[in-house]
Amino acid sequence: MAVSYATQVLLLIFLTTLHFNVIMAAAMTCGEKERNALLRFKHGLADPSSRLSSWSDKEDCCTWLGIICNNITGKVIEINLDTPVGSPYRELSGEISPSLLELKSLIRLDLSSNYFVLTPIPNFLGSMESLRYLDLSLSGFMGLIPHQLGNLSSLQHLNLGYNYALQIDNLNWISRLSSLEYLDLSGSDLHKQVDWFQVLSALPSLSELHLENCQIDNLGPPKGKTNFTHLQVLDLSNNNLNQEIPSCLSNLNTTLVQLDLHNNLLQGEIPKSISNLQNIKILDLQGNQLSGALPDSLGQLKNLEVLDVGNNTITYPIPSSFANLSSLRTLNLAHNKLNGTIPKSFGSLKNLQVLNLGANSLTGDMPLTLGTLSDLVTLDLSSNFLEGSVKEINFVRLLSLKELRLSSTNLFLSINSGWIPPFELEYALLSSCIVGPKFPEWLRKQSSIKVLTMSKTGIADLVPSWFWNWTLQVDFLDLSNNLLNGDLSNTFLNSSFINLSSNLFKGEMPSVSANVEVLNIANNSISGTISPFLCDKTNATNKLSVLDVSNNVLSGDLGNCWVHWQALVHLNLGGNNLSGEIPNSIGHMSQLVSLLLDDNNFSGHIPSMMQNCSTLKFIDMGNNQLSDTIPAWMWEMQYLMVLRLRSNNFNGSITQKMCQLSSLIVLDLANNSLSGSIPNCLDDMKTMAGVDDFFTNPLSYSYGSDFSYNNYKESLVLVPKGDELEYKDNLILVRMVDLSSNMLSGAIPPEISKLSALRFLNLSKNNLSGEIPKDMGKMILLESLDLSLNHISGEIPQSLSDLSFLSFLNLSYNNLSGRIPTSTQLQSFEALSYTGNLELCGPPVTNNCTSKEELSEGTSVGHSDEKFFGTSEFYIGMGVGFAAGFWGVCSLIFFNRTWRHAYFHFLCYLRYLIYVTIVLKVRRLFTTL
């Protein structure tokens, strides 16, 4: 025993010494030459966070940060100076010294994620023959990639991806890298390299090829075989490939594991031969223009773990063969046109974690089998035509579910109040499906919810007492458009986005934490005074950027506390019983874009401090009792798009300065006591004159980075044709001037006819005199024209008959005379439109024109009328008919409060564009005739 103990001790000592010796040997071998080379390399670099502080001539270079030596020869074999995200160090920059050439054994050089901005990749790297691994990605290099790199015959890994404008003049140098296994040139422009695929496919050892964002539009001429005998990963995402999925890819059948073609312009069907890729695990075809059906043969890909075909235009039902994809973890088929039902056989996809079938045309119910997928984390069935009830049993084994999206389906969540869900959701998106009429009690047991949307779910119930406390954890809360009731008086809200609008909430204003960014409680019955809410000191550090309490029954004055609310961008207090003056402190809100105070009892004048709110685009103070003149600075608010001051007691005149409002789309000053004449510079108002962009809507904002579909859109009640209508999605298309019911005098300035984008013009009930400007027919989009109850004289200009959009006309009670110009347009209005003008004659009024007028009309107009009568009648008829059809569809959407679906909006929009094109064409035809 003792002997053996002694031997053991000896052996131990022997081994320890041996080990020590080996370490000593390793530690002493950093050669002076290599150390000096590295010090010179350090010298060329800028190292803001002193990462290279261990690089000193007193230390063994093998112990320096980022350096690895061969443990036998002591030669430097690796330099690892990348700066990945989360690294404690800042990026290196400066110059890469050729002293590196002294490191004859260097195998690996990693300088990725640094900041060598605007430096070219040094040519001498091509002489470092021992290199097997070179990573210069994400480091800002620019210029031509040196062909010398082609000399690195041992190179196995080359990553030059995502630099700053690296140029590649040709790829032939790469074909010499016969050992290359990994190549990443992402972010370089390859679109001129038509033969890139051919050149690269000659690399016999290549197993990973990353060419993201290379502006490639083509795989080049079709080739039978490729030499890619080892290719496992092919990433061509974010290019411009606009062809069918290349069949040559299916020759990579034995090796390919990952094929990423997302965000290209690929067309046609997914080829059946894709099933040749027997080893594929990740197939990403998201964001292309693929059409047709999903091939049955996809079901043969037994190893497939991720299949992403989202954002294409795939039609037909999901093949039942998908049930065989037993390795599948992620299936994304969202944003296609799939129809048919969700296959019951999906229940066999036991490894599924993400199932996204949103935004398709799927019908039928939610199969019970989905409820057995115990690994499922995300289930998205939203925006489909699914129907039927969803019960507890539908979720029976969804133990891992975190994200449930059933919005915009006709599914009915028929769940008992005592249910304890098997999951802990983080996202519950249930808007526009049926959750009510009872409040869903099961939510109470969900303590991790960050996002809850239950807008338009038919809940007609008292909000339970636990709920508001429960929402303290919720970040995004949308309960709008239900029949929820309850008293908000003592509630405390903490979510950053809160939409409780259009319910039956009552009581006083809730209190909010400093966390809240959007609070929308419009269209409820909130009462009491608003100033305690506004002046509460605890709100002083508020981030609130949207406050909408419109259409409640709030009363009292505004206090003078706007200094607390400097983050506000959108403020809507319209439609309450608020009174008193608008306080000066409103000027503290220097970021304000929209200020809506309409339909209250505010009095006094517009405070001068408000001119600090210079970013305002949208001002609505209509229907109050504001008085005094419209302040001159208001005409200098250069971003102003909507100015609605109708139905107040403003007096004074409209100055020439008004024409500086070049972004204005709505000017509604009706029903005040404004006097003087209409400025004669209207043609300076560029947006009204039709010089603008229809496609961007600066009147809507998105809030919540994850939930950009919850747009906040401005709306506005206007009186375009004698009736009040609410505009929202379509507001950006409106161009309106309403100066009616004032005391304006003088003539209508002829410049008004330059406002060719104007749709609604109302100058009625003033003291205007003079004639109707001759060229008003050039306002081709005019739909509504009201000049009634003025003292306008003279004849109706012939050009008015060109207004083929016109659907509302009132010229009554003026001093107009002569024959009403003949056209399908002007005769289609009732005589009422012309009544009260004693000397007007001809249809539709009953007053016959005298033979004298008949004669003069006949000679001046009749001839040209006859000249193109045959064709013009046809085209005018078509114009009117088309206009009627257009409004048939669009007016419903434009004016119906409940029917504002984006899709229809878009359709409508298209029609609008087509319509305008046709009108313009028809008009061109006229002028050439």
Ligand X SMILES: *[C@@H]1O[C@H](CO)[C@@H](O)[C@H](O)[C@H]1NC(C)=O
Is 906 a binding residue for ligand X by CB under 6 A? The answer is no
Q: CB of 4: closest distance to ligand X in angstroms?
A: 29
Rounded to whole angstroms, what are the CA distances from 790 to 293, 669, 679, 737, 812? Answer: 65, 17, 17, 17, 9
The residues facing 487 across adjacent strands are: 506
Query: Using CA of residue 496, residue 501, residue 503, residue 506, what is the dihedral sign?
Result: positive
Query: Of residues 4-23, which lie at the interface with ligand X (CB under 6 A)?
Result: 22
The span from the CA of 52 to the CA of 46, in Å, is 10
Query: Using CA of residue 277, residue 282, residue 284, residue 290, what is the dihedral sign?
Result: positive
Nearer to ligand X, 276 or 594 (CB): 276
Which of these ranges, 308-316, 571-579, 675-683, 687-695, lies near ligand X under the rule CB under 6 A? 308-316
Nearer to ligand X, 227 or 529 (CB): 227
Nearer to ligand X, 278 or 615 (CB): 278
Q: Which two tokens stand for residue 256?
A: 């390919």
Q: CB of 593: closest distance to ligand X in angstroms?
A: 25
Asked if 511 contacts 484 with a C-beta cutoff of 8 angstroms, the reply is: no
Q: Which two tokens stand for residue 329?
A: 């973890």
Is 874 a binding residue for ligand X by CB under 6 A? The answer is no
Nearer to ligand X, 200 or 325 (CB): 200
Nearer to ligand X, 311 or 446 (CB): 311
The span from the CA of 539 to the CA of 726, in Å, is 33
Query: Of residues 42-101, which lie at the interface with ligand X (CB under 6 A)?
Result: 71
Is 311 a binding residue for ligand X by CB under 6 A? The answer is yes
Q: Which two tokens stand for residue 292?
A: 């047709």
Helix (H) or strand (E) holding 269: none
Helix 869-895 / helix 902-928 crossing angle, nearest 10 deg:
160
Q: Could you give the dihedral angle defined by the CA atoms of residues 199, 205, 206 and 207, in that order, rounded to the nearest 10 degrees?
A: 150
First to last CA, the chain: 123
Is 810 a binding residue for ligand X by CB under 6 A? The answer is no
Which of these ranges, 3-11, 130-138, 328-336, 369-377, lies near ligand X under the rule CB under 6 A? 328-336
Which of these ranges, 59-67, 250-258, 400-408, 783-791, lies near ligand X under the rule CB under 6 A? 250-258
Is 334 a binding residue for ligand X by CB under 6 A? The answer is yes
Query: Of residues 276-295, which lie at the interface with ligand X (CB under 6 A)?
Result: 276, 278, 286-287
Query: Using CA of residue 876, residue 882, residue 885, residue 889, what is the dihedral sign?
Result: negative
- Residue 454 burial class via C-beta count within 10 angstroms: exposed 0-12, middle 13-18, buried 19 and up: buried
Q: In this chain, which of 154, 215, 315, 677 binds ligand X, going by CB under 6 A?
A: 315
Which of these ranges, 197-205, 365-373, 677-685, 751-759, lies near ligand X under the rule CB under 6 A? 197-205
Q: CB of 302: closest distance to ligand X in angstroms?
A: 12
Nearer to ligand X, 448 or 917 (CB): 448
Asked if 746 contacts 677 with a C-beta cutoff of 8 angstroms, the reply is: yes
Query: Using CA of residue 838, residue 839, residue 841, residue 847, what is the dihedral sign?
Result: positive
Asked if 610 contacts 632 with a C-beta cutoff of 8 angstroms, the reply is: no
Q: CB of 310: closest distance to ligand X in angstroms?
A: 3
Strands 93-94 and 485-487: unpaired
Q: In this chain, which of 243, 300, 327, 339 binds ligand X, going by CB under 6 A?
A: 339
Q: CB of 640: closest distance to ligand X in angstroms?
A: 33
Helix (H) or strand (E) holding 476: strand 476-478
Nearer to ligand X, 238 or 550 (CB): 238
Is 310 a binding residue for ligand X by CB under 6 A? The answer is yes
Is 694 a binding residue for ligand X by CB under 6 A? The answer is no
The span from the CA of 411 to the CA of 425, in Å, is 19
Of 645, 920, 894, 655, the closest CA to residue 805 belongs to 920
Which of these ranges, 54-62, 156-164, 307-315, 652-660, lies near ligand X under the rule CB under 6 A? 307-315
The span from the CA of 838 to the CA of 436, in Å, is 62
Q: CB of 571: closest distance to ligand X in angstroms?
A: 30
Query: Of residues 340-369, which lie at the interface with ligand X (CB under 6 A)?
Result: 340
- Strand spans (E) along 792-882: 793-795, 808-810, 815-819, 839-841
Q: CB of 332: closest distance to ligand X in angstroms?
A: 6
Q: CB of 547: closest distance to ligand X in angstroms?
A: 25
Is 539 a binding residue for ligand X by CB under 6 A? The answer is no
Nearer to ligand X, 8 or 469 (CB): 469
Q: CB of 759: closest distance to ligand X in angstroms?
A: 32
Q: CB of 224: closest distance to ligand X in angstroms?
A: 9
Of 530, 432, 414, 431, the closest CA to residue 476 belongs to 431
Asked if 394 contacts 423 with a C-beta cutoff of 8 angstroms, the reply is: no
Nearer to ligand X, 70 or 824 (CB): 70
Q: CB of 879: closest distance to ligand X in angstroms?
A: 34
Per-residue contact flags (x/-) with ligand X for residues 251 to 270, judged by CB under 6 A: x-xx----------------
Which of these ranges, 331-339, 419-427, 508-516, 692-700, lies near ligand X under the rule CB under 6 A? 331-339
List of residues 6+ apart from 416 with CB closer than 8 A:
392
Strands 354-356 and 387-390: unpaired
Is 275 a binding residue for ligand X by CB under 6 A? The answer is no
List phi, psi (to 5°) of 156. Answer: -110, -30
Q: In this chain, which of 194, 202, 504, 609 binds ligand X, going by CB under 6 A?
A: 202
Q: Which two tokens stand for residue 629?
A: 């003149």
Strands 476-478 and 451-453: parallel
Which of these ranges, 249-257, 410-418, 545-553, 554-562, lies near ligand X under the rule CB under 6 A? 249-257
Which of these ranges, 231-239, 334-342, 479-487, 507-515, lies near ligand X under the rule CB under 6 A? 334-342
Q: Which two tokens stand for residue 80?
A: 């690892």
Q: By CB under 6 A, how many residues form the interface with ligand X?
A: 24
Is 316 a binding residue for ligand X by CB under 6 A? The answer is yes
The span from the CA of 677 to the CA of 681, in Å, is 12
List of residues 6+ apart from 709 with CB closer than 8 A:
none
The span from the CA of 453 to the CA of 455, in Å, is 6
Nearer to ligand X, 236 or 718 (CB): 236
Of 205, 209, 180, the closest CA to residue 197 belongs to 209
Nearer to ligand X, 325 or 744 (CB): 325
Query: Of residues 466-485, which lie at the interface with ligand X (CB under 6 A)?
Result: 466, 469
Is 335 a binding residue for ligand X by CB under 6 A? The answer is yes
Which of these ranges, 310-318, 666-674, 729-737, 798-806, lies near ligand X under the rule CB under 6 A? 310-318
Which of these ranges, 92-100, 201-209, 235-243, 517-525, lies near ligand X under the rule CB under 6 A? 201-209
- Note the residues at the interface with ligand X (CB under 6 A): 22, 71, 201-202, 204, 227, 251, 253-254, 276, 278, 286-287, 310-311, 315-316, 332, 334-335, 339-340, 466, 469
